[in-house]
Amino acid sequence: MADECAIVKGARFKVAFCVGKEVRETEGCYIGMAAMGTETALVFETSEGISFINCSDISAMVQTCAAPEEPKKKSDDRALYG
């Protein structure tokens, strides 16, 4: 798993993106993807609210905090007969 890179729900990122010729930055927790017209956007929960940033406008992302690990489920290896 250490060799894989992924944008995971719950991870915190600093994102640089273009608005016209201006480069802006925001920081927030990644919560998913969404369609914006014909574009795909990454969705972040920031201090200003929910931000939808078009993937084509993103110039850089820095992960500032990993996603919290989900508790591992205990395997249920019991045989069930019914």
Residue type, 7: I
- The answer to the question of residue 54 being in a domain is yes
Let me know if residue 75 belongs to a domain: no
Counts for the chain of helices (H) and strands (E), in that order: 0, 5
How many folded domains does the chain comprise? Answer: 1
Q: Is residue 18 part of a domain?
A: yes
CATH label of the domain that carries residue 60: 2.30.140
73 domain residue, yes or no? no
pLDDT at 1 over 60: no
Over the stretch 62-80, which tens digit does the pLDDT of each residue have? 999 998 887 666 666 666 6
78 falls within a domain:
no
Q: Output the pLDDT for position 6.
A: 85
What is the pTM assigned to this prediction? 0.77
Tell me if 22 is assigned to some domain: yes
27 part of a folded domain = yes
- What range does the domain containing 22 cover? 12-65
